[in-house]
Amino acid sequence: MQGDPIGHGWLARFLVSVLLLCLNACAMVGVSRLKPGDVVSEQRADVIGSRQLSDSTVQTLNVLALSAKQCAKSFGSCAGIVEHASGLDEERRLSALSELWLERALRGDRGPAMDDATLDAYLQCARYAYAYLFYTRRTPAERVFDQRQAKVIAFYDYAVERVVGRWFQELPRLGTGWTQTGLAGWTVLRPDTDLRTRAPTAELISASTLRFKGLRNVYRRDGFGSDFVAVAPPAAADAPAVPWREPRYVAMTGVLVFGGHTLDEVLDTRQVQLLARDPYRDASVTIAGRSVPLGANFTAPYGLWLARSGFAMQSIRSLLGREGGIEEPRVLLMQPYDPGRLTVVMLHGLASSPEAWVNVANELLGDEQLRHNYQVWQVYYPTNAPIAVNLVQIRRALDATIRHFDPAGTARATRGMMLVGHSMGGVIARLLVSSSGDRLWSLVPEGRNLSAAKRARLRRQLAPYLQFSPMPQVDEAVFLAAPHRGTPTARHTLARWVAELIRLPLGVLKEVASISDLLGDEGGKGAPLHVSNSVGNLSDTDPFIVATGNLPISPAVRYHSIIGLYKPHGPLAQSSDGVVPYASAHLAGVASEVVIPSWHSVQETPAAILELRRILRLHLRREPGDGAPP
């Protein structure tokens, strides 16, 4: 049966009409709603965090009828279109190019063995980001709320981190005295640096790759550039024996600057230079005639130093007098010496090391005002030696360090110094600012028949240990959980057992033997001299601790006490921190005294750190200097 041609024609026209109506009337755009958290994640996503191009770069490619897949497949053609196509403003163009080159670099980055093509891609990324930030119409300050700028800064920082790491590997090949070299098709100028390191850098570590356990906070300064830790090699075996140690781990901020003075010149250049800056010295850097805040990571060098130090085992060996411990005090500088910053000297306690200050030093200098005005020295000393011996040796070490760094004695750093001591370190800190006069000579059991010559020799030999005066450079001190009058804990069975395991340093044994000989009568007879080790020295019945317990502190020194209170019950006067009685830690005449609920390690508590910050700020008001961050 034949169909009706008219009917078929009508049906065809009807279907075409319906199709045309759908094309014009059916919705071509759909909509869905994202969760707020997903919105933020999508806005922040970029090639660094998600390995996918950011939404802004994808939109730029869409404008040019390009896609991320096309650019990955034919990068040169894609980058050329983005660079030369009309219809894009410079900011959009440069930010997209920076991310595209970064994606290309990430695809080729295989770790330390970076090839030249990948290095070139990172440099291209950094150059486009540099041009975006400093050579477009708007300044960085005018774009402060632009999300695109935040991403471009991140692209730049990451590229700098990888480029500098690769360049560092080239330094052994270049030797010394070079001014420029060719690398991956670029002319690389010798770095411009103001780092203060005692030796050429042996290792350069990106601070962004480090994570620390045991530190409460990581203190950074927001700003431009990538953060590094520059590590100097260990001191040579034949290096001069000096009591101070300059830091091996130094903060560095790296900035890449490119040749040219206009946007076109920067985009055409293949010349680049690294600015290696000390963030303690520099709060900003000048680029393209603009002063730009300089970023920094102040915790990374300190944390890396502590993590690699081996202090925990070494301090126990030092206490017991075993091989591998230290035999003499060392003054450890936490940052390169700065004559314009006031100095805080920290002294740890028994069986301890600079690890006692693990959070204290970091938290104190996490405060920008304090960091700008203070530098920290830590005294590391053998805690097996008697207090009198450590007092003499620490004083000599500090005096030698001060003479070395400030021979004229005129720097701000060595005027108005502050001592901060914990436990036995607090006792030593107090004696460093006290006067003994002739009060301690009664400790010497002089023989009845000593000749005048022997008496004179004995007095000369003992005078450094029994006759001392305050350090003139110090005008403030803080004592934390310090047993100024000893502690009965040192008489307990466990403490006596530990004391029996301790070996005195060889130098102390020789000194004791020499003094014993002098104390003998003319016939060579006499009782051997007994000298307590550090544990015995801290007993509340020890003759030395009893005799020094109430020595007068210099009137030129303001001093403060921070005292722990463990399991508080009963009157304060009868309390303790579990080790040191309140009555032993308390001092009359203090400028301030704070009692904190804490075990003996009170220095690590947030309350003690806040109190130390308060004292440092008050101290700053009394000392010369502007007291303000740069």
pLDDT band for position 491 (cuts 50, 70, 90)? confident
263, 136 contact by CB (below 8 A): yes
What percent of the chain is modeled with pLDDT above 70? Answer: 88
pLDDT band for position 630 (cuts 50, 70, 90)? very low
Cα(511)–Cα(385) distance, integer angstroms = 12
Rg of the chain (C-alpha set): 34
Question: What pLDDT score was predicted for residue 530?
Answer: 62
* φ, ψ (nearest 5 deg) of residue 289: 75, 5
340, 412 contact by CB (below 8 A): yes
What SS3 state is found at 332?
A: strand
Question: What pLDDT score was predicted for residue 452?
Answer: 78
Cα(20)–Cα(536) distance, integer angstroms = 102
Question: What pLDDT score was predicted for residue 43?
Answer: 55
When mean pLDDT is compared across 14-18, 104-108, 257-261, 288-292, the lowest value belongs to 14-18
pLDDT at residue 25 above 80? no
Question: What pLDDT score was predicted for residue 628?
Answer: 46
CATH topology classification for 321-436+451-620? Rossmann fold (3.40.50)
The whole-number average pLDDT for the span 254-279 is 97
**Average of per-residue pLDDT values in the chain:** 89
pLDDT digits (tens, 9 = 90+) for 59-93: 999 999 999 999 999 999 999 999 999 889 999 99
Cα(385)–Cα(148) distance, integer angstroms = 61
pLDDT digits (tens, 9 = 90+) for 407-437: 999 999 999 999 999 999 999 999 999 999 9
The whole-number average pLDDT for the span 525-532 is 61
pLDDT band for position 507 (cuts 50, 70, 90)? confident
As a dihedral over the C-alpha atoms of residue 343, residue 344, residue 345, residue 346, rounded to 10 degrees, the angle is -160
* CA 333 to each of CA 138, 188, 476: distance values in angstroms, whole numbers, following the listed order: 43, 34, 19
pLDDT at residue 203 above 60? yes
As a dihedral over the C-alpha atoms of residue 435, residue 439, residue 442, residue 448, rounded to 10 degrees, the angle is 100
What SS3 state is found at 220?
A: strand
Strands 374-380 and 296-297: unpaired
Cα(265)–Cα(260) distance, integer angstroms = 5
pLDDT at residue 499 above 70? no
Question: What pLDDT score was predicted for residue 113?
Answer: 81
Question: What pLDDT score was predicted for residue 323?
Answer: 84
pLDDT digits (tens, 9 = 90+) for 297-326: 999 999 999 999 999 888 888 888 888 888
Please provide the DSSP assignment of 541-580 as one string: T-HHHHHHTTPPBPTT-EEEEEEEE-S--S-GGG-BSSSS
* φ, ψ (nearest 5 deg) of residue 149: -65, -40
Tell me what percent of the chain is helix, strand and coil, each rounded to the nearest 5: 45, 15, 40
The whole-number average pLDDT for the span 602-626 is 91
Q: Which residues contact 242 (CB under 8 A, 6 or more apart)?
A: 400, 404
What SS3 state is found at 277?
A: strand
Burial of residue 226, with CB atoms counted within 10 A of its CB: 0-12 exposed, 13-18 middle, 19 or more buried: buried
Domain ranges of the chain: 43-299, 321-436+451-620
Chain-centre distance for alpha carbon 150: 26
pLDDT band for position 485 (cuts 50, 70, 90)? very high
The letter for the amino acid at 425 is: G
Pull the structure tokens for residue 559. Answer: 């001093």
Question: What pLDDT score was predicted for residue 317?
Answer: 86
pLDDT digits (tens, 9 = 90+) for 151-160: 999 999 999 9
Pull the structure tokens for residue 283. Answer: 């709060």
Question: What pLDDT score was predicted for residue 49?
Answer: 86
As a dihedral over the C-alpha atoms of residue 156, residue 157, residue 162, residue 164, rounded to 10 degrees, the angle is 100
When mean pLDDT is compared across 18-32, 223-237, 556-570, the lowest value belongs to 18-32
* φ, ψ (nearest 5 deg) of residue 305: -60, -50
pLDDT at residue 278 above 60? yes
What SS3 state is found at 264?
A: helix
Please provide the DSSP assignment of 482-533 as one string: --TT-BGGGGSHHHHHHHHH----HHHHHHHHHHHHHHS-TTS--PPPP---
Of the CA atoms within 13 Å of residue 421, those in its CB half-sphere come to 28
The letter for the amino acid at 291 is: S
The pTM (predicted TM-score) of the whole model is: 0.88
* Neighbour count for residue 204 (Cβ, 10 Å): 18
Chain-centre distance for alpha carbon 36: 37
pLDDT band for position 4 (cuts 50, 70, 90)? low
pLDDT band for position 39 (cuts 50, 70, 90)? very low
When mean pLDDT is compared across 98-102, 293-297, 440-444, 471-475, the lowest value belongs to 440-444
